[in-house]
Amino acid sequence: MDLQGVAGIRRAEFEGFKPISELMKSGCCEVPKEPGVYIVLRENSEPPRFLDRSTGGHYKGIDPTVEKHVLEEKWEGVPRAIVLYIGKAGPGKTANLMNRLRKFVRFGQGKPVAHRGGRYIWQMCDSGDLLVCWKSTRRCDPREMEKTLICEFEGVYGHLPFANLVH
């Protein structure tokens, strides 16, 4: 799959491409209640600015904030990538795209919810402008697809996506 541009991601049958700010307003009601994978994208080619403090929630009392130099070093590994984060939803009865993305954006709004994955996103000044797209995985395991996409990204850039901290 071509992870270097929105067109390639669309060709791979991803849907949505909604700004995070829009998902925050809608409560993710437009996202399907199916297992799948999702990608957070940044089309702006300018280097990002980082906040001193994360807007992320303090789940179990843990502050998701990291030092700016950590974010800047992570960014230097993938400065031209539009893909910032690859995540999954499922398998499981309630582990669907809508619920997972709802947790993701609520975490970004400072709520103490269980979604620390992608937490570097919430220290970006333009996090509300980032796009989220998703793909249902009715015929395959979401975790396997997530791992495949992360490996494909690594094959191109030699690093994990900016906000992915583990495989």
What would the pLDDT profile of 158-167 be if each residue is shown by its tens digit?
Answer: 999 999 999 8
Reduced to 3 states, what is the DSSP secondary structure of residue 13?
A: coil
Distances (CA, A) of 133 to 36, 64, 84: 11, 24, 12
Q: pTM for the complete prediction?
A: 0.96
1: in domain: no
The domain in which residue 152 lies consists of: 6-156
61: in domain: yes
Domain count, the chain: 1
Pair 130, 19: CB distance under 8 Å: yes
Question: How many CA atoms lie less than 13 Å away from 53 in the CB half-sphere?
Answer: 7
With 0-12 CB in 10 A as exposed, 13-18 as middle and 19+ as buried, what is 152? middle
24: in domain: yes
162: in domain: no
143: in domain: yes
98: in domain: yes
166: in domain: no
Cis peptide before 142 (omega within 30 of 0): no
Q: Give the pLDDT score at 63.
A: 96
Q: Give the pLDDT score at 147.
A: 96
Q: Read off the pLDDT of residues 85-113 as tens digits, 9 standing for 90 and up.
A: 999 998 777 789 999 999 999 999 999 99
Pair 1, 152: CB distance under 8 Å: yes
Amino acid at 99: N
The CA distance from 92 to 26, in Å, is 24
Q: Read off the pLDDT of residues 128-147 as tens digits, 9 standing for 90 and up.
A: 999 999 999 988 899 999 99
163: in domain: no
Q: Give the pLDDT score at 139.
A: 82
DSSP state of 158: S
